[in-house]
Structure 1
């Protein structure tokens, strides 16, 4: 039975690269969002309230910093808020937005002239096997690094990481990835998927992962874009996807992934001056219409 925004029903305890996202759906991506109507909904946040549901989400602060990113995370409505009146969104949407605020970072051992937002559900909601999907609209800005992903609750990479969508501002493609022990870097489990002509990452799309005990499948708008199996992972290391993972949405700026794509070091690592100017005006944001998690297919509805 579908749940209201932010409520949790229960916590349940060869790699194929498709290369191209073969189609996009209507503005509401109805087929992707409603095709799961016969499955047990474990969690839903439709972002229709006035503020973020903190019974479900934790907002990250400056202590979280990785990958030579050029931002510091803060808990502030200037970078994280529920917004309304967004074209194509169903009622409200979550906005994660970077801003240019040099000097705000309390850590003097790094230089982070931007602030932004990151939220996670660790300790509040996690799941093992099932389907996680989010409807997202991304900005046209080279060198940004927003992402929608799952992370194991234990030490990384021993408990696994599933990157459902990563974006570095080249709007004709998004990245997906899986990380575990001995395959936490550049492996076949890091993959690009290109949009067809006529659509790109700046349109609304539903990004999803279908996670079973031996296959992980990535989809955009209900279309398969990449798949990896337990037997393929065995060539690199142990399958690390049999324990609970929690949800993460974040908006990074620059860092190693954008740098690997564009090679820029000035004015910031991975970030061109044009994007810095856009961030200064406040026009760059990742919008999230909703996030939903379903139990595996064929699973009876868990007791509340």
Structure 2
């Protein structure tokens, strides 16, 4: 079934790219697949992924990342909620877990990346994901350059901050970082939202980017659009990141919540305590 969904995604990529002969073409080849993980093992594959720990903190997020099977683990069967098996990034309420840089953190969560293990320049990056309902959750699927930010660029393939009817995509680089003008929201059709399984992807070329949801084009950015604001920072290798943040800058700008935590309302704290703060990832793919 997992391979079926992957083949459907690859076929849709061809169809929505305007290829009327997509049905006659092979949907996948071994030679163009740079990276693939379907999380079918009993734990995260450390040959493919790095795990971020407690010495990392950005964006005024309200959680600290922990390398633990409580926050990063694989599931199968009914626990995979519609997939055969999946990776779970899960947040927990853990009062006064750690004090770091003068901040007390009451939440723990998971973040992984492929830095120095799988880096790629141009191609398609995609992930099939199921996201949680709750204002202030901030999961993301994205890519960074290996050097200083924002000089080596950032590609936000999917960001969600708790409004279930939309996700965001964006580019950041020198002259267009932070409040970047290169950003777009995708609103799901009626009857769909982020709590369903969706494939989030980007096609990256020397000429620009096509951001897609379920193979459907939602935003295009060309190189001249980028260079209108600053230097093109997308001719260098990037690594993939998957994380579940809580609160912080982007959720706060969206929901305006001050208490009990910046960007996290009391209702979402209850969801976290009830074990409902989790992101499921069916598979991740990079094709050249």
TM-score, with length taken from structure 2:
0.90
The Cα offsets for residues 86-115 of structure 1, whole Å up to 9 and x where unpaired, read as 2321x2100001000011114260132100
Aligned twin of 1:37: 28
- 1:121 to 2:114 alignment: yes
Q: Measure the CA separation in 1 of the matches of 2:81 and 2:110.
A: 22
| Contact in 1 for aligned 2:111/2:241 (Cα 8 Å) | yes
For residues 222 and 279 of structure 2, the distance between their equivalents in structure 1, rounded to whole angstroms, comes to 30
Q: How many Å apart are 1:270 and its aligned residue? A: 0.5
Instruction: State whether structure 2 residue 196 is matched by structure 1 residue 203.
Output: yes
Distance in 2 (alpha carbons) for counterparts of 1:191 and 1:105: 35
User: 1:70–1:30: structure 2 CA closer, same or farther, 3 Å change rule?
Assistant: same
Change (3 A) 1:33 1:282: farther
> Which residue is equivalent to 1:272?
265
Are residues 1:224 and 2:217 paired?
Answer: yes
Residue 109 (structure 1) aligned to one of 102, 113, 119:
102
Q: Which segments of 5 or more consecutive residues in structure 1 lack a partner in the other structure?
A: 6-26, 296-304
Corresponding residue for residue 16 of structure 1: none
User: 2: CA distance between counterparts of 1:49 and 1:29?
Assistant: 18
Q: Aligned match of 1:82 in 74, 78, 92?
A: 74
Any idea what the Cα deviations from partners look like across 1:144-203, whole Å, max 9, x if unmatched? 100000000000001100000000110000010100001002233121110010111100
Kindly indicate which of the two structures has a greater share of residues assigned to strand: 2
Contact 2:43 2:74 in 1 (8 A): yes
The CA distance in 1 between the partners of 2:190 and 2:221, in whole Å, is: 26
Give distance in 1, aligned partners of 2:276 and 2:252: 22
Tell me what 1:149 maps to.
Answer: 142
Partner of 2:161: 168
Distance 2:104 2:59 in 1: 13
Q: Deviations over 1:210-264 (max 9, x none)?
A: 0000111100000000010110111100110000000100000000000000001
* Secondary structure of 1:72's aligned partner: strand
Mark the runs of 5 or more structure 2 residues left unpaired by the alignment: 14-26
Larger RCO, structures 1/2 (Cα 8 Å, 6+ apart)? 1
Aligned to 1:215: 208
1:245 aligns with 2:222: no
Please tell me whether residue 287 in structure 1 is matched to residue 280 in structure 2: yes
Paired position in structure 2 for 1:130: 123
Where do 4+ consecutive residues of structure 1 move more than 3 Å? 27-30, 33-36
Measure how far apart 1:30 and its partner are.
5.0
How many residues of Structure 1 are paired with residues of Structure 2 in the alignment? 269
Root mean square deviation, CA, Å: 1.6
Instruction: Tell me, in whole angstroms, the C-alpha distance in 2 between the residues paired with 1:187 and 1:76.
Output: 34
Corresponding position of 2:256: 263
1:291 & 1:280 partners in 2: Cα distance?
A: 28
Q: Would you say the 8 A contact 2:146–2:239 is kept in 1?
A: yes
